[in-house]
Copies of this chain bind each other. A is one copy, B any other.
């Protein structure tokens, strides 16, 4: 199956899962409507896809990965809602629609993020959602995801990003920031897909971690290039935000051409990390290629 087709199927699957796990919308609870709005907005579902494709390598059925995939996507969506807040990146457009706080107000958007993050851990700890994953593995998955999302992962990356606004960073610092901000959760997504199988070795996890970091950087560099070149119709968000906010990006630091070369290098590293898994990882390879080629 070509990667685009697999991606589309994953998007449909995650849509159904999120609708199942999110609290049922009620007129009297704007919070619940806002949680739906924040999650069911046509996202790429890249992180769930990574978890499913990695689980494939270990012949793990998608049903086993479902609660993990939904939880990871909720953590990702929470981070977008909080990042978009006026106190943070102050973005009014996300995936072609007004951001959560533009529709529901800042207070509800803060609570939406809090609720989605909490719900992710509730789903992961609920036995009925994943009867085929043993307790020890579930705890390992919760640990990997919380480490990747918190003060030594995604939240740390966001904090460094905020502190760096208006400052020049060195390339190594920029890479560290994005490893934390984006790479950690992408990396956790592949690791959790492997963990769900109950059969991944330490070495498997190590290789997958490297793969996750490599495509994380690749993704970010491509994002910076798209922001510099793109138009809002394709991207679903305003381009040129980075320059407007005086943000240090791979493009401001390296220029378009060198940034692109760096992305190609990351793609090569991603492929290197996958060698260990043979042809079973072909869809992960195709996904890495998609990331570097994407235009939105």
Contacts and interface: CB of A to CB of B under 8 A. Distances in A.
Contact of A23 (B29, B121, B151): B151
B151 A119 contact: yes
Interface stretch (A132-140, A230-238, A246-254): A132-140
A88 to B, nearest CB: 5
A115 B155 contact: yes
A284 interface: no
A159 interface: yes
A139 B137 CA distance: 11
A142 B124 CA distance: 9
Contact of A108 (B29, B118, B134, B159): B159
A121 B121 contact: yes
A31 interface: yes
Contact of A146 (B107, B119, B140, B147): B119
A222 B258 CA distance: 63
Given A125-B139, A125-B143, A143-B126, A155 B107 contact: no
B146 A118 contact: yes
A270 to B, nearest CB: 27
B139 A122 contact: no
A1 interface: no
Interface in A214-237: none
B110 A122 contact: no
Given A82-B114, A114-B82, A155-B31, A150 B163 contact: no
Interface of A: 23, 29-32, 35, 78-79, 82, 85, 87-88, 105-108, 110-111, 113-115, 117-119, 121-122, 124-127, 134-136, 138-140, 142-143, 146-147, 149-152, 155-156, 158-159, 162-163
